[in-house]
Each structure stands twice: as structure tokens, then as C-alpha cells.
């Protein structure tokens, strides 16, 4: 999983919690720019030397009153500094099932679309594509310019799933976390990871609301 420097670090935490709850072990790459968004959005300074502590604090946010349940699961995360281009995930021979980029900045989208590999996150995404493994890109920007739209088409053509960080309101959302979990759930859907992060649409306009009120 890669976290790039777009707004939306709560989406990243929700996806990571979902992966860990599903029993996945996760290789985590946090871009340099995403440390700024994380600091801005959560007050957490993400430090390479203290990544476990900082990740625990991050995962606890929005964990719905059960932050302790992620204490142990942090052991299922392997953290790789974004500047370490010799890290395991930079090679196609490193065992990985696929990659999720949440949130994906337009800079990251551009870098992956043109194969820039400017850091470990982008290199791992390029490796994921060349190895024909699933790549899910949750872009977060608005409005989108033509350049980014073309880059997204390039990624789609290359086999990636583009899952915009675009929350929906039909799943009974009443809190911000519901909207966050909806996006995280759609990202996990695209990766085929089971979860119960949002209420799925079953048809019947207004029925769910009537039944619950
Ligand atoms: C507080 C903050 C919020 C940002 N939000 C976005 C955003 O929502 N979408 C985006 O594409 N870039 C956003 N950026 C700009 C990216 O961080 C910037 O393009 C950076 O180069 C991305 O690098 P990365 O892809 O290596 O993480 C934001 C930057 C800051 C400091």
C-alpha cells in the first residue's frame, strides 16, 4: 500500500485497517509529501524511526472506539521508507499480490502513468503494472484537469483500477467516518478484499431509511 501526498489520510487509515482486519500483511510506503498532509489532517508527524508508534496513532483515528484492536495488527505491517529504492517492493521478484495507492495525488498519478519511478512508491506501482498485478489508484483532486484525466486513462489502459476518493450518500451516512469508510470500502472492493465498511445497495429507494426510522 502506498500513501501519497493528496488530502485524504483518513482514507488511508481506513483502508489499512480494512486490510489488517481481513488478515492481510501489508507493505507500507508513505511518500514524503504525504507526511505534510498527515500532519495537517491529523497532527501526527510520521517518523521513519518511530513508524510503529506513529502508525498506531494514525490507525486509532476513526477506529470507532476500538483503537486497541490495531495495536497487535501493526505487527502485520512492514514499513519501507519512500527514499529506499533498494527496498524489497522495488523488484518484481518481491512477493506481492498487488498495490493500493490511497490517496493518490495527481503528481503520483502522473508519475505512475509515465513510469517516472521518482521514489519507492512510484517504482512499486510501475513494478505492479509490469508484473500484471492488480493496482488500485484512489485519486483525490478536484477539479481534474485534462492532463490528469489523460494520465488516469493511461492507468486504466494499463490495467489499473481508478477508484476516485468520491464518497456516496446512499449508504445511510450520518457521520464523516461513514463517508471515509465508503471510499475505503470501494477501494477494498476493487482489490477483492472482503470487508463490512459500508452498507451495500440492495435496491428499493428509501426502504432502508423507512425500515430504520
Ligand atoms: C496540505 C496539502 C494538501 C494537498 N492536497 C492535494 C490533493 O488533494 N490532491 C493532489 O493531487 N495534491 C495535493 N497536494 C499536493 C501534493 O502533495 C504534491 O503534488 C506532491 O508533490 C505529491 O507528491 P507525492 O505524490 O510524491 O506524494 C497537497 C499538498 C499539501 C501540502
**Does 211 score more than 50 pLDDT?**
no
Least confident of 36-40, 46-50, 68-72, 89-93: 68-72
What dihedral do alpha carbons 89, 47, 69, 72 form, nearest 10°? 60
Alpha carbon separation from 149 to 88, 110, 194 (Å, rounded): 31, 10, 29
**Does 71 score more than 80 pLDDT?**
no
CA distance 83 to 32: 8
Nearest atom in ligand 1 to 41's CA = 1
What phi, psi does 209 have (nearest 5°)?
Answer: -65, -40
Q: What is the pLDDT of residue 67?
A: 59
Whole-number Å distance, alpha carbon 6 to ligand 1 midpoint, is 4
CA distance 97 to 95: 7
Q: Which protein residues touch ligand 1 with a CB less than 6 Å away?
A: 4-7, 31, 33-34, 36-37, 40, 105-108, 140-141
Q: What is the pLDDT of residue 207?
A: 60
Atom 30 (ligand 1) nearest CA: 37
Nearest atom in ligand 1 to 31's CA = 27
Nearest atom in ligand 1 to 4's CA = 27
Mean pLDDT of the chain: 94
DSSP type of residue 159: T
Q: What is the pLDDT of residue 10?
A: 98
Choosing from 5, 34, 35, 83 the residue with most ligand 1 atoms within 8 A of its CB, the one to mutate for a pocket test is 5
Whole-number Å distance, alpha carbon 22 to ligand 1 midpoint, is 29
Whole-number Å distance, alpha carbon 113 to ligand 1 midpoint, is 17
Over range 176-195, report the average pLDDT. Answer: 98
Nearest atom in ligand 1 to 105's CA = 11
For domain 2-201, say whether CATH 3.40.50.720 is its number: no
Q: What is the pLDDT of residue 204?
A: 83
Give the confidence band of 163 by pLDDT, cuts at 50, 70, 90: very high
Yes or no: say if 6 and 104 are a contact pair by the CB < 8 Å rule: yes
CA distance 184 to 176: 13
**Does 110 score more than 90 pLDDT?**
yes
**Does 213 score more than 50 pLDDT?**
no
CA distance 157 to 46: 34
Q: What is the pTM of this model?
A: 0.95
Choosing from 1, 6, 102 the residue with most ligand 1 atoms within 8 A of its CB, the one to mutate for a pocket test is 6
Give the confidence band of 35 by pLDDT, cuts at 50, 70, 90: very high
Atom 9 (ligand 1) nearest CA: 6
- Per-residue pLDDT reduced to its tens digit, 130-162: 999 999 999 999 999 999 999 999 999 999 999
Nearest atom in ligand 1 to 82's CA = 26
Q: Nine-digit cell at 71?
A: 495495536
Amino acid at each position: 500500500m502506498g500513501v501519497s501526498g493528496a488530502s485524504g489520510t483518513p482514507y488511508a487509515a481506513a483502508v489499512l485497517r480494512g486490510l489488517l482486519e481481513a488478515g492481510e500483511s501489508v507493505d507500507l510506503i508513505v511518500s514524503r509529501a504525504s507526511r505534510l498532509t498527515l500532519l495537517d489532517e491529523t497532527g501526527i508527524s510520521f517518523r521513519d524511526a518511530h513508524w510503529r508508534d506513529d502508525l498506531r496513532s494514525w490507525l486509532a483515528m476513526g477506529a470507532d472506539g476500538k483503537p486497541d484492536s490495531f495495536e497487535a495488527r501493526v505487527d502485520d505491517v512492514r514499513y519501507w521508507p519512500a527514499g529506499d529504492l533498494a527496498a524489497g517492493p522495488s523488484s518484481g521478484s518481491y512477493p506481492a499480490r498487488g498495490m493500493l495507492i490511497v490517496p493518490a495525488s495527481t503528481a503520483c498519478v502522473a508519475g505512475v502513468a509515465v513510469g517516472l519511478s521518482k521514489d519507492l512508491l512510484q517504482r512499486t506501482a510501475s513494478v505492479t503494472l509490469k508484473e500484471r498485478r492488480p493496482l488500485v489508484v484512489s485519486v483525490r483532486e478536484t477539479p481534474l484537469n485534462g492532463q490528469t484525466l489523460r494520465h488516469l486513462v493511461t492507468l486504466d489502459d494499463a490495467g489499473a483500477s481508478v477508484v476516485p476518493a468520491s464518497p456516496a450518500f446512499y449508504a445511510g451516512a450520518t457521520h464523516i467516518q461513514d463517508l471515509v469508510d465508503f471510499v475505503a470500502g470501494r477501494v477494498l472492493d476493487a482489490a477483492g478484499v472482503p470487508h463490512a465498511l459500508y452498507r451495500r445497495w440492495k435496491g428499493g429507494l428509501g426502504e432502508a431509511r423507512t425500515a430504520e426510522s
